[in-house]
Structure 1
């Protein structure tokens, strides 16, 4: 178990380090990838949580969450400026002038987000935390003194994924009547499941996971479109009140309704695929 945790955490830290310079420079894809790396690290702590020292585990999780929030805020404005506004202009070209008026204030928010990312990435405490995480993940004291913690990860894969899948099912209860916050919780649970599958695959091979992964991907894409529409409205409301705001809202509401219509079918398709583990 210790070797498995060290490998998974090591991969996450390498992923983050590979994109750290780019994120510091404000590269949108690097910021996105650095955020993905942080999510994978937090998912690893969640995956192994029952076998880890609770105090240290929670401390690292909190630090990674704080770093992820800063990157997430910058990523949101990257998407708004570089993807959302151009997408709306493409489908509603007669509103290009109104939409264009949103770009300057949105770009200002984007630059503030990049400043916050740079400050956190160059902070000595960030380096120290990441180094400590790498050292801790390979140390036997990371683990709780329980018999289960000494078992091989191959023996634990099924129960670990079962726990993540049960969390997804719980979050999906009453899906068609859920509000946006509840659906966001389902989206996060699905991400944890996907990262768990990917982490265990990296250790023990892919196997016949394709049908399950494809159905999971379709469901995540639908929830992702829903989340993007909600985020676009939240962001545009932080900008000065201009006609372009109404255009973004109308576009986002249409996207939201499309995603909501498709969501039940995506969920039932996913649930119909037997768990491969």
Structure 2
């Protein structure tokens, strides 16, 4: 398969995933709607970034910015979904303090407000309609460039791209200060890009599933770190108008403590997860 055809396959696949989940996101009854829409947008942005040296820079930059804005407008809904369905669910009935039910009701009310004021208006917006109309057209026509490398077989290009992104992960993670939130966040971003690239090219190489499994080990840890930071900011937002409600404030503090303790337990296993990733077989080297 030529490089251009491979790019089209990757973009079409993720665009179909985006469109397939938009009605689920609109109704808000299943958190996978917003989640899968955001994943599809991130994957398409990552694909355009991965192949940016071969594509029209201005056009791809514009599409990536549109995708960034669309995903960003779904961000608060996703953060609340995760907070309710994972953060609060994880501690349900485990903290011997009042305030759990009140906090959950407060979060559910805010979630409904955000779906009504941000998610549904986005899906009805001119910007989203424009993207859904014009981006598929660009997929079919925008890759017809006089770039010889786009006509080359994808296999060699995939190996080079995977090698390049793997080096970025190793540079970001080797000797990383685990107490440096910014450095750990950058490692999380680079790992996500490598994970996406590995999934894009999975059909080309045998045993890629094992490498992706090793990627998941470190990503799970970094994801909990990110969720903890989001929990703190969400609680600040949710409780900003309830400073006198001591039960809510105390329960929120205990929730942060619980999740922080859980994260520290995972962080103690960072070296093992990192070493497993470093030692993992690279299927594209064969």
> TM-score, normalized by length of structure 2?
0.88
Task: Report what 1:254 is aligned to.
Answer: 261
Per-residue CA distance 1:136-174 (angstroms, 9 max, x = gap) = 1222x4466443233121221100111211121122143
Moved more, 264-273 or 175-184: 175-184
User: 1:214 & 1:81 partners in 2: Cα distance?
Assistant: 27
Task: Report what 2:4 is aligned to.
Answer: 2
**Taking structure 1 as reference, are residues 248 and 5 closer, same or farther at Cα in structure 2, changes over 3 Å only?**
same
Per-residue CA distance 1:42-91 (angstroms, 9 max, x = gap) = 12112211111010101110111111112222111012123211221233
User: 1:161 & 1:257 partners in 2: Cα distance?
Assistant: 31
**Count of residue pairs brought into register by the alignment:** 272
User: 1:214 & 1:90 partners in 2: Cα distance?
Assistant: 32
Moved more, 1-10 or 130-139: 130-139
Is 1:38 paired with 2:41? Answer: yes
User: 1:41 & 1:137 partners in 2: Cα distance?
Assistant: 11
Shift of 1:100: 2.0
Q: Which portions of structure 1, spanning 4 or more consecutive aligned residues, are displaced by more than 6 angstroms?
A: none
| Secondary structure, aligned partner of 1:69 | helix
**Taking structure 1 as reference, are residues 144 and 175 closer, same or farther at Cα in structure 2, changes over 3 Å only?**
farther
**Taking structure 1 as reference, are residues 256 and 234 closer, same or farther at Cα in structure 2, changes over 3 Å only?**
farther
> TM-score, normalized by length of structure 1?
0.91
Calculate the aligned-residue CA RMSD, in Å: 1.8
Task: Report what 1:79 is aligned to.
Answer: 82
User: 1:5 & 1:144 partners in 2: Cα distance?
Assistant: 13
Task: Report what 2:246 is aligned to.
Answer: none
Q: What is the 5 A alignment of 1:170-181?
A: 170-181=171-182
User: 1:213 & 1:86 partners in 2: Cα distance?
Assistant: 27
Shift of 1:14: 0.5
Structure 2: tracts of 5 or more residues without a match:
244-248
- Contact kept? 1:223, 1:259, Cα under 8 Å: no
Is 1:274 paired with 2:281? Answer: yes
Task: Report what 2:112 is aligned to.
Answer: 111
Task: Report what 1:199 is aligned to.
Answer: 200
User: 2:133 & 2:174 partners in 1: Cα distance?
Assistant: 40
Task: Report what 2:99 is aligned to.
Answer: 98
Task: Report what 1:124 is aligned to.
Answer: 126
Higher helix share: 1
| Secondary structure, aligned partner of 1:91 | coil
Task: Report what 1:147 is aligned to.
Answer: 148
- Contact kept? 2:221, 2:263, Cα under 8 Å: no
- Contact kept? 2:169, 2:187, Cα under 8 Å: yes
Shift of 1:178: 4.9
Moved more, 4-13 or 254-263: 254-263
Per-residue CA distance 1:106-130 (angstroms, 9 max, x = gap) = 2232123212011111112212113
- Contact kept? 1:223, 1:263, Cα under 8 Å: no
